[in-house]
């Protein structure tokens, strides 16, 4: 017999042989297996408070988007035109800069809203969980779309009467050309929230101490 340690021969298990030991010295192994603890029923479903906070955050993000749209329409630069004859106008400023600046301001405004949303949604302990992450993603995108729609509606094209006045100064309608910016708010909100989750001291995200 070689000096190698032999493996267990069956599922019950036998103790390995020491080098040079006799076959009769082999003793069966004893196993102590802890039974698996069943997962509590319904534990994979969001808690009632998570759903409540999720709805509040979703509505809050849409309302914040409406306010952000008002801000965007107020501060975004728009290209000025001078009416030279009824229905015809010429630009009085550089075209590209105004368009780029309007899109850039939209990006900054929605990103700020996303940062605030991620921070504020972390504060209530009973709101923390996977549902909040999904809420921030969906609500952030919905809020950004609301910002775009309201901003473009408030800063729309000039009226026909204005276009018919020779010498009148008109502004181009506000438009978001980089439509991909509409997902930035939700992305930033989730990013901030997940960063707070990563640095949480408690494994249950503070649920054990939630009021």
Per the model's pLDDT, the better-predicted residue between 41 and 200 turns out to be 200
pLDDT score, position 3: 44
Closest CA to 63 of 152, 122, 139, 127: 139
Overall pTM > 0.85:
no
Q: Which residues of 94-124 are buried (b: 16+ CB within 10 A; e: fewer)?
A: eeeebbeebbebbbebbbebbeebbeebbeb
CA distances, 179 to each of 43, 69, 74, 136, 167 (Å) = 39, 15, 19, 19, 34
Per the model's pLDDT, the better-predicted residue between 89 and 6 turns out to be 89
Separation between Cα atoms, residue 122 and residue 131, nearest integer Å: 12
pLDDT score, position 173: 86
pLDDT score, position 185: 96
pLDDT at 12 over 70: no
123 secondary structure, DSSP code? S
């Amino acid at each position: 017999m070689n000096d190698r340690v032999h493996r267990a021969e069956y599922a019950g298990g036998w103790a390995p042989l020491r080098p040079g030991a006799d076959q009769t010295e082999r003793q069966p192994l004893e196993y102590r297996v802890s039974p698996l603890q069943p997962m509590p029923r319904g534990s994979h479903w969001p808690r009632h408070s998570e759903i409540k906070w999720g709805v509040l955050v979703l509505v809050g993000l849409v309302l914040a988007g409406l306010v952000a749209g008002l801000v965007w329409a107020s501060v975004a630069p728009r290209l000025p035109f001078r009416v030279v004859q009824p229905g015809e106008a010429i630009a009085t400023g550089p075209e590209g800069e105004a368009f780029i600046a309007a899109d850039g301001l939209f990006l900054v405004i929605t990103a700020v809203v996303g940062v605030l949303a991620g921070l504020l949604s972390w504060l209530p302990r009973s709101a923390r969980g996977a549902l909040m992450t999904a809420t921030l993603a969906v609500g952030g995108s919905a809020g950004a779309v609301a910002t775009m729609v309201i901003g473009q509606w408030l800063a729309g094209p000039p009226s026909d009467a204005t276009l018919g006045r020779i010498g009148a100064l008109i502004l181009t309608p506000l438009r978001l050309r980089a439509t991909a910016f509409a997902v930035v708010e939700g992305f930033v909100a989730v990013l901030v929230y997940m960063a707070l989750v990563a640095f949480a001291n408690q494994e249950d995200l503070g649920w054990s101490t939630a009021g």
